[in-house]
Amino acid sequence: MSALEIREATKRFGDVAAVDGVSLEVEPGAFCVLLGPSGCGKSTLLRLIAGLETPTGGRIAIGGRDVTGLEPKERDIAMVFQIYAHYPHLSVFDNMAFPLRVRRIGEPEVRQRVEEAAELLQLSELLKRRPRELSGGQRQRVAIGRAIVRRPKLFLFDEPLSNLDAKLRHQMRAELARLHRHLNATSIYVTHDQVEAMTLSTRIALMNAGRFEQVGSPQEMYDRPATRFAAAFVGSPAMNLIEGRVEGRTFEGAGLRLDVEVQTSGAATLGVRPEDLELVEQGPWSGKVDLVEYLGAETLIHVRCGDLVLVVRTPQASDVEQGRNISFRPRRVHLFDPSGRRIG
Amino acid sequence: MKRSGLWLAAAAVVIYSVAPFLWIVVTSLKPSLEIEARPPMLWPRDLSLESYARAQKGHGVTSLLINSLIVAGGTTLITIPIAALAAYALARLKLRGRRVILSLILVASMFPQVALVHTLYGMIQVMGLVNTRPGLSIPYVMLTLPLAIWILASFFKEIPEDLEDAARIDGCGPVRTLVSVFMPVAAPGVFTAAILTFIYAWNEFFFALVLLTDPARQTLPRGIALMPGRFTIPWGEIAAASVIATLPLVILVLVLQRRIISGLTAGAVKG
Ligand SMILES: Nc1ncnc2c1ncn2[C@@H]1O[C@H](COP(=O)(O)OP(=O)(O)OP(=O)(O)O)[C@@H](O)[C@H]1O
Ligand SMILES: [Mg+2]
């Protein structure tokens, strides 16, 4: 039985299909990330799961039970929002107790569950404070605490870290991962940050314009992008994409040639990740160094080949200088047809 | 240098706006002989409450005060709930023409009172409410609603919708969401709107002049305006009544100002 099953869910706002017939199954205990650019419909899909929006079509089941027409409170879910949505007039304790009290859970148990969650989130010292007396990271933890006291079947997160600064985000990301290991609760997590997606998820559903581009493990997503969009979206620095043609098992584009193992011929896009480009003495490809970015653990070399700039990522601090000609070769490539589908 | 300039400017503004009031306070505390003294004295030689006593005896200032409290309080109590409902709808519903509705509401508040008073008197008369306190509150509600709706609608819009969504997921129905989540967060906005409504109704003179001729039901501004006799102007009593008319507002604002400015929402959104 899946923890969450979405079948052909659609949500229209007037003429816009924010979510356009998507289907998804999530295993119990999975951490599934909905990833995609701004406006692709991630939040809308999450709100459909939560029951905050009514679907135009399709069905949603949580834990094997069809919840399509049910109110959020009947779905046994908890949600953490981007803004923390605390009740500013209540103390941290009362904020976390609120969902339990609304459900008429006895006060001794409320106390016990809140204290347990506070312990887990290192909030025990802060229970008497008001939300406005907390730091950003602490507020975020309160929001998470409010979700976990409920012990719901499903956790929903809508960009919960995007209001934090970079360092804190990093820290909270690790904390979320730890929390998920500890609770092992099924989670659906919306973000447009692919690093968050890669590090937190057991599964990624990549969305674009209301549809899924690819659903799979972070590694599948990275190693075998199913579409050109997935190839371009996942990975930082982004994959190098070269427009060209395949003719008789040879790809040619931007003055670069490569033998490929595909039967078809015609227009195609060749993709190479920056780390799959290797500097060599004498190579099939060459170009002029445009820019060298030294990042400490690695170096990014921007190489100009005709109109195109390719990024090469090397682990060593390289002595390459700007303006020099260098040779390199691709170790692994991805090929996409003009409709964006993977062909090899 | 810049700082002292700022202080000077601030002092000038404060003196400019507070001095007349202080002068009234001083006058109200002078015995009647000193009020008439030429040149006027800046500070009374003997403090005296004589003017207050006479304002009460001759003009029934306490009953004026009570009338004002009833009319202004009643207006506020009626205006704010209606305005809150309207503002909530305007802030949250995905209404077509929301802006047009808001502009129309604003336009409605721009009609000069003189243009309304004739028809209004007729309507109040038909309702049999001339010379009653409700008969004055009803037009006040009409006059204060636009401003209150505007203040509340812009305030409500600032409250993140996620807060209500969170309450819904936590298991609150619409009423509970409104009462235990939305209203506490919206309180500073509601207080602001309530105070402005109250002040407006408290100070209003023109409609009170036309609609309340019975001395027993008059409000303070109307009562004060009627104090000058045919041959004498009782400056002491007028000053005393003016102080009595002003004090409740000063107290109200001082008591509630913390609630108004305090960023009660500060914890709801990232601060
Ligand atoms: N209540 C609404 N009414 C009308 N259109 C909406 C509504 N909510 C969302 N949309 C539209 O649906 C599309 C998807 O919105 P959604 O909020 O799901 O995007 P998102 O992927 O969460 O984006 P972001 O990363 O910016 O939060 C957008 O084009 C948006 O304008
Ligand atoms: Mg979103």
- B168 contacts A88? CB cut-off 8 A: no
Q: Please give the pLDDT value at position A251.
A: 92
pLDDT in tens, A67-105: 999 999 999 999 998 876 788 888 999 999 999 999 999
Give the closest residue to A137 by CA, choosing from B271, B159, B160, B170. B271
pLDDT tens-digit profile of B90-125?
A: 998 887 888 899 899 888 888 888 888 889 899 999
Mean pLDDT of A270-279: 93
CB contact under 8 A, A88 and B268: yes
Is B10 within a domain?
A: no
Global confidence as pTM: 0.81
Is B58 part of any domain? Answer: yes
Q: Output the CA torsion sign for A142, A144, A145, A147.
A: positive
Taking residues A151-174, report their average pLDDT. 89
Residue B18 lies in a domain: no
Token couple for A266? 């015609």
What is the rounded distance in angstroms from the CA atom of residue B46 to the CA atom of residue B49? Answer: 10
Choose from A43, A87, A133, A146 for mutation: most chain B CBs within 10 A.
A87
Query: Among positive and negative, which fits the CA dihedral B216, B217, B219, B221?
Result: negative
Residue A317 pLDDT grade (very low, low, confident, very high; cuts 50, 70, 90): low
Q: Which helix (H) or strand (E) holds A291?
A: strand A285-294
Pocket test for ligand 1, best of A16, A48, A159 (most atoms within 8 A of CB): A16
- Given a cut of 90, whether residue B47 has pLDDT beyond it is no
Q: From ligand 2's centre to the CA of A277, what distance in Å? A: 35
Beta bridge partners of A272: A240
With respect to residue B239, please indicate whether it lies within any of the assigned structural domains: yes
A67 near B CB under 8 A:
no
The 3-class SS string of B15-66 reads HHHHHHHHHHHHHHCCCHHHHHCCCCCCCCCCCCCHHHHHHHHHHCHHHHHH
Residue bearing tokens 């709808």: B89
CATH number, position B237: 1.10.3720.10
- Which pLDDT does position B188 carry in this prediction? 84
Higher pLDDT: A188 or A167? It is A188
Residue B144 lies in a domain: yes
For residues A115 and A83, the answer to whether their CB atoms sit within 8 Å is no
pLDDT at residue B54, rounded to an integer: 86
pLDDT of residue A86: 80
Could you report how far apart the first and last alpha carbons of chain A are, in Å?
Answer: 34
What was the pLDDT predicted at B38? 78
Instruction: Give A260 to chain B, closest Cα distance, Å.
Output: 51
Nearest partner of B170 among A65, A143, A45, judged by Cα = A143
Residue A41 Cβ inside 6 Å of ligand 1? The answer reads yes
* Interface membership of A139 toward B (CB under 8 Å): yes
Confidence of residue B262 (pLDDT cuts 50, 70, 90): low
Assigned domain for B35 exists: no
Give the burial class of A176: count Cβ atoms within 10 A of its Cβ; 0-12 exposed, 13-18 middle, 19 or more buried. buried
More confident residue, A15 or A85: A15
Is the Cβ–Cβ distance between A148 and A120 less than 8 Å? yes
Among candidate residues A260, A232, A202, the one with its CA nearest the CA of residue A340: A232
Give per-residue pLDDT as tens, B175-195.
888 888 888 888 888 888 998
Is B260 inside any structural domain?
yes
Closest ligand 1 atom to Cα of A190 = 22
In this structure, of A17-26, A55-64, B176-185, the range with the lowest mean pLDDT score is B176-185
A86 lines ligand 1 (CB under 6 A): no
Contacts of B160 in chain A (CB under 8 A): 83, 85
- Three-class SS state of A52: coil
* pLDDT for position B263: 40
Q: Is A88 in the pocket of ligand 1 (CB under 6 A)?
A: no
Reply yes or no on whether the pLDDT at A295 is more than 90: no
Task: Domain of residue B168: give its range.
Answer: 49-269
Q: Which of A224, A223, A175 is nearest to A196 (CA)?
A: A175
In chain B, the number of structural domains is 1
CA of A211 to the centre of ligand 1 (A): 13
Question: Is B24 within the bounds of a domain?
Answer: no
Over 90: is that where the pLDDT of A168 sits?
no
Assess whether pLDDT exceeds 90 at residue B159.
no
The percentage of residues in chain B with a pLDDT greater than 90, rounded to a whole number, is 32
- pLDDT, one tens digit per residue, over B72-88 is 999 999 999 999 999 99
pLDDT in tens, B199-216: 999 999 998 888 888 888
pLDDT at residue number B265: 44
Q: Does A167 touch chain B (CB under 8 A)?
A: no
Q: Whose CA is nearest to atom 17 of ligand 1?
A: A43
Q: What pLDDT score does B267 carry?
A: 39
The minimal CB distance from B160 to the residues A50, A83, A131 is found for: A83
Mean pLDDT, residues B35-58 taken together:
83
- Residue A39 Cβ inside 6 Å of ligand 1? The answer reads yes
What spatial distance separates the first Cα and last Cα of chain B, rounded to whole Å?
Answer: 34
Contact A19, A168 (CB under 8 A): no
Confidence of residue B268 (pLDDT cuts 50, 70, 90): very low
Q: Work out the minimum CA distance from B173 to partner chain A, whole angstroms.
A: 9
Q: What would the pLDDT profile of A255-272 be if each residue is shown by its tens digit?
A: 888 888 888 888 999 999
Specify the pLDDT at position A306.
Answer: 84
Mean pLDDT of chain B: 86
